[in-house]
Amino acid sequence: MSLLISRRSLIVGAPALLAGCDQVARNSAARAILFKGEDMHRGIQRALMDRDALAREFRPDQRSPIFRSNGTRDPGTPEYETLAAGKFADWRLNVGGLVARPLALALTDLAHLPNRAQITRHDCVEGWSAIAKWQGPTLGSVLKAAGLRDAARYIVFTCADLYGGRPYYESIDLIDAFHPQTILAWALNDRMLPIANGAPCRLRVERQLGYKHAKYLMRVDAVASLAGIGKGHGGYWEDNVDYDWYAGI
């Protein structure tokens, strides 16, 4: 394992390629820690992929005429209805868990953090794709503001909706959390995120399949382990069906 990881770092870890990336997950020592405790299969799969590579970005004219919705199209709970009726002015994204400074961020706070806009292709496991422009603060900038504690290994996203009666949640590791294209999107194609697509804020984690892109975000928590969350497999589909936790594309 460690041999694979350090060889991979030698091949792709050229400093020029990594300029501007966060250091936390960008060296072999950090990777060795991140992979510790994971099963061999998962660790090797991830070690062999170029986790730092950027997802392809497209031109504005390549965008899909419509960006469809999938899964929950409206959480419809009384709490969510109240937030939506107030145009999400009272919504707060709570950032907590293994952080030094828990945060409660309003939409205006998200807009004032370092934002990134990107035109990317969304790939759903069910076999459809669509290209759209997304904008929001990088998750990395939010986590830096909160100050990750050393024990943090995963970021867990808690959503406002139940899908099929069960809470939707997702999780990613720190490599994806600090990937420069991983953003908390509040805008889709230059407009506020529609309810069907996860208003007021959803995750974009561009190197993974659609089900990882949690919509209707309410909480972002740093954790040391996924064991105590849901049924312990790290996400709605991972727990309730048998989808892979790491859905790399």
Ligand X SMILES: Nc1nc2c(c(=O)[nH]1)N[C@H]1C(S)=C(S)[C@@H](COP(=O)(O)O)O[C@H]1N2
213 binds, among ligand X, Mo ion, none (CB under 5 to 8 A by kind): ligand X
Map residues 183-222 to x or -, x wherever contact with ligand X holds by CB under 6 A.
-------------xxx-----------xx-xxxx------
**Nearest in space to 236 (alpha carbons), one of 161, 186, 148:** 161
CB of 167 to ligand X, least distance (A): 9
112 binds, among Mo ion, ligand X, none (CB under 5 to 8 A by kind): none
Count the Cβ atoms, other than its own, within 10 Å of residue 91: 23
List the structure tokens of 13.
């870890």
Point out which span in 15-23, 45-53, 90-98, 160-168 binds ligand X (CB under 6 A). Answer: 160-168
Residue closer to ligand X, measured from CB, 34 or 203: 203
234 binds ligand X (CB under 6 A): no
Instruction: Answer for the pair 186, 116: CB distance below 8 angstroms, yes or no.
Output: no
Map residues 79-118 to x or -, x wherever contact with ligand X holds by CB under 6 A.
----------------------------------------
What distance in Å separates the CA atoms of residue 116 and residue 122, rounded to the nearest whole number? 17
Using the CB atoms, write b or e for 110-141: b if 16+ within 10 Å. Answer: beebebbebbbbbbebeeeebbbbbbbbbbbb
CB of 222 to ligand X, least distance (A): 19
Instruction: Answer for the pair 218, 93: CB distance below 8 angstroms, yes or no.
Output: yes
Alpha helices in the chain (DSSP H): 2-12, 15-18, 28-35, 40-48, 78-85, 107-112, 139-146, 174-177, 236-240
Binding to ligand X in span 163-182, by CB under 6 A = 163, 168
What distance in Å separates the CA atoms of residue 136 and residue 181, rounded to the nearest whole number? 10
Cis peptide before 65 (omega within 30 of 0): no
Residue among 7, 68, 112, 166 that touches ligand X (CB under 6 A) = 68
68 binds, among Mo ion, ligand X, none (CB under 5 to 8 A by kind): ligand X
Contact residues: Mo ion, CB under 5 A: 124, 210-211
118 binds, among ligand X, Mo ion, none (CB under 5 to 8 A by kind): none
**Nearest in space to 108 (alpha carbons), one of 82, 129, 88, 84:** 88
Residue closer to Mo ion, measured from CB, 44 or 124: 124
Footprint of ligand X (CB under 6 A)? 68-72, 124, 159, 161, 163, 168, 196-198, 210-211, 213-216
